[in-house]
Structure 1
């Protein structure tokens, strides 16, 4: 409790010192500022805020849902901020904070959907930022089908490397990946399925699948390590480069997309999401009584 309060005070005072002259201030609460990507996102938001002429405050809950709730409650209840964006650590912990923000007319952008916070519908001044796993899986599968249609006249024999996270979202992504594949290449057949997390594991499992399906010519890769491992397995077997579509989009994979060895990569556009959420928060700060939207993280396709 005490350490959380000290951390908040340190961040808040330093941020407010540079924002005293600003008429409005926004707060950003990430998962933790110990994550380099969150540091980069916080820096980008600070730049957006400066360009928009508003003050900026970064909080640091350090992966603790209760700390996140306490920090946000403090800046909202004391009137230090006019809006806040939280990458939610735990929705139940934020329910009271969100209700207080609605009552105070302080708009928020929060992760998830209304039901996660006990609401049945959209709320005034609250935007919900959700991940559309259906669209994500569909994009990966559709692009694999497009590759099969272009290179093999739709006759695809697919090795399917599914999502390994084991949660509901993984199942949705895989199910819609298969639907997208079927839509774009109706004659394509999934000849083998497997799960793998690491590149070496992916290479080994694809090599095993190729022993039984040497005529496979396409790979659905749920992540970049799957894609790279599959590519290496086909090369080691002396087989032609297959259609490969990856879910992710690391710099390494994008380099192989550019060279043509990987057909496409689909990933979440977090930079676009940051801009979208910031602009949404700004608009709600002008009209906090209006119902907030339900946003989806944009999907970026590179091919």
Structure 2
């Protein structure tokens, strides 16, 4: 019998996306220290492979293993697939696929929102908790900006901070989200206090901010590519609010309207940077994984909101 170890870390691998302990921090900073979730491949006498502890990332684990093969000696998964550099077109297609297939518009909570099946209490709970994410967007963008050596790139990226913080009082995405809350019957002070933010939401947002703090420019920028799907979900959301939630003043939907153009612009700029910087297969895979991580953050945030109260 032949045994092949595919991973040795617990709880999803090392580093954990929401942890900054010495072990995880070291793995964030030094990719060679990273380990996959514990799992094992066993090859029986007849040559058949069996998996023990298969994880959601088993495909990547198999792809990275040089010994998994068939009895005739041919590789079950070509090792070339993990080292061959993708073309720009292939990498673009892969990133767009992740941003589409794993985006949070497919989360049951968002599906119910867009179908008009949320109660006022549920919708307000989402607005309150999503604001915790919104107010941290300029924080993560400041962390990313600080990684850039090029002044021209810093000047371009600072616009993202201004988009949310505004260039003057009473302007910007954060202000527009506060107005959305007011249109939904949530007092501004209630939103700004953060008293009702759920622990799971805090954990997800902290994990994303720490990711941008600890990872290099490539991964931090790649994580922002969820914006590739932002214009679509914004259009869907505007239509859903106007049709299903008429009790919310349409002036409160300005945030969504503005993000259609901003999200399209930001995603194309970030995609161009990722395509320029990801010069090796390892860097390309890291960019794809970073985008997948960000999708998980958004999904986890909605999990917390969805599970916090009774459904109608």
Same fold (TM over 0.5): no
- Rg bigger for which structure? 1
Higher relative contact order (CA 8 A, sep 6+): 2
Structure 1 length normalisation: TM-score? 0.28
Structure (1/2) with the larger helix percentage = 2
Structure (1/2) with the larger strand percentage = 1
Structure 2 length normalisation: TM-score? 0.28
